[in-house]
Amino acid sequence: MASRQQTSHMAHVQLMGKAAMGRQVAEPIVASEEYMQYLTKLIPSTPELVKAGFVVSPLTPTELQAKVKCKNCHKRCTKPDRPPRGRNSSYAGNMEGSSNGSFTNETASTASNSGPSQTCRLRSHGELLDEGKQAETTSAAPPSPSQFRPAVAIDCEMGVSSDFESELIRLSLIDYFSGQILIDRLVRPKVPMQHMNTRYSGVTRQDLQNAIRNRTCILGGLEEARKEVWKFVGPQTVVVGHSVRNDLSALRWIHKRCVDSLVVEEGVRRKIKAKEEEEEKVREKQKDERLLEISLHCGPGMAEETRRMMEEEEIKEKEKMKKMRGKRGEDGMSLKALTKKKLGRVIQDGGKKGHDSVEDAVAARDLIHHHILGLMQKDKEKKEAEREAEAAFAQVLAEGTRDAEIGSVFAAFP
């Protein structure tokens, strides 16, 4: 059994790299100006992106410095309460107040209040782990502008670095409309790795070593990975993904034209909740009117008894609905749960073999396509209803005019 799983995994890995480019992994979607209008309407505004956790502008120096960590204890460094004392602790500035933001033979407090152990000795700036690398905005200068796609779907897999931060190790990008793979490659991190997080990433240390040896992976870390993406993604390209802010964060990439299947679903559920709350208000009003009528005709005692019975029935109905939703397992917001609920498709069933980032990118893309088809159908039905109403109104006018003409003819003969 283990041998078959290993063979299957190796076959999957061999499909990655440059050999995967152009491989069809999803049904094509017909591109049109109308479809792009629907797609771009799903792009959140800048305030909405910020609220959803997206980085929309380069980090300030203070924000960058706040991300620096101690090399020894891996905790965030903060400004010391007072200049440190001692022969080997001449203070040369702090993260937020010094002219160069560096530490030289100083003692810096880390983000902990656990007593004396919260102080870490740092001998030079090189011993600080710089987690505050600046995010880059989308490049507007590809090798060939014609390579820019109108829309793409993305998914990244991350391992854990030696300082316990997420680090990009696999990058998958597909053309939204053609359904073909643009990029599906492992990424060689520029930092030491604690582990590959294989249970979720689907990438083993051996996979990465083989890809490095065969030179099929992206060797230059995040910077080269971004350049590979920017061969196909321009400033106007729509980037689709599920919780796509995490993918942008993994690439340290700022791109505002994003459609996130998680954010879209959250919006759908907010509307459903608002509608349900409005309907509940109407039901409560109708119930109060009914109880008032019973009280007037049958007395307060009967009204109170009726109220109690109605409330018990409501509780039973809510419990029944809760159990039904629990059995269906449809209330989850994960990509796996939404794909099963909306598309009737099972993904991420590899167990310990982990996720497939191409499969996840396709799932996010198909969820957005499913949502757009729903919007198109609603608008079509609305337009048809409006046309039918206009036709009915025109018929009424025509019949009214004809009746008036007939009436005038009879009026001419006394």
Does residue 361 fall inside a structural domain? Answer: no
- Tell how strand 128-129 and strand 69-70 pair up: antiparallel
On whether both 212 and 276 belong to a single domain, the answer is no
- Tell how strand 151-161 and strand 238-241 pair up: parallel
CB 168 within 8 A of CB 201: no
Write out the residue range of the structural domain in which residue 208 sits. 2-59+134-261
Does residue 175 fall inside a structural domain? Answer: yes
Distance from C-alpha of 372 to C-alpha of 369, rounded to nearest angstrom: 5
CATH code (residue 193): 3.30.420
On whether both 239 and 276 belong to a single domain, the answer is no
228, 244, 261 - which closes a domain = 261
Does residue 49 fall inside a structural domain? Answer: yes
Does residue 129 fall inside a structural domain? Answer: no
Does residue 408 fall inside a structural domain? Answer: no
- Given a cut of 50, whether residue 94 has pLDDT beyond it is no
Does residue 76 fall inside a structural domain? Answer: no
Which of these, 156, 153, 155, lies nearest to 179 by C-alpha position? Answer: 153
On whether both 205 and 177 belong to a single domain, the answer is yes
CB 136 within 8 A of CB 249: no
Does residue 112 fall inside a structural domain? Answer: no
- Given a cut of 70, whether residue 14 has pLDDT beyond it is no
On whether both 301 and 256 belong to a single domain, the answer is no
Please name the helix (run of DSSP H) or strand (run of DSSP E) that holds residue 175, with its range, or none.
strand 166-175
Assign 133 a pLDDT band (cuts: 50, 70, 90).
Answer: low
Top mean pLDDT of 87-96, 243-252, 279-288 is at 243-252
Q: What is the pLDDT of residue 18?
A: 65
C-alpha neighbours within 13 Å on the C-beta side of residue 205:
6
Distance from C-alpha of 65 to C-alpha of 74, rounded to nearest angstrom: 14
| pLDDT tens by residue, 211-220 | 999 999 999 9
Predicted structure pTM score: 0.73
Does residue 410 fall inside a structural domain? Answer: no
Q: What is the pLDDT of residue 355?
A: 80
Mean of per-residue pLDDT scores for the chain: 79
On whether both 181 and 227 belong to a single domain, the answer is yes
On whether both 144 and 8 belong to a single domain, the answer is yes
Q: Please provide residue 13's backbone torsions phi and psi, each rounded to the nearest 5 degrees.
A: -65, -35
**Residue found by looking up tokens 């993604």 in the block:** 233
Count of domains forming the chain: 2
On whether both 255 and 272 belong to a single domain, the answer is no
Q: Give the residue with greater pLDDT, 170 vs 101.
A: 170
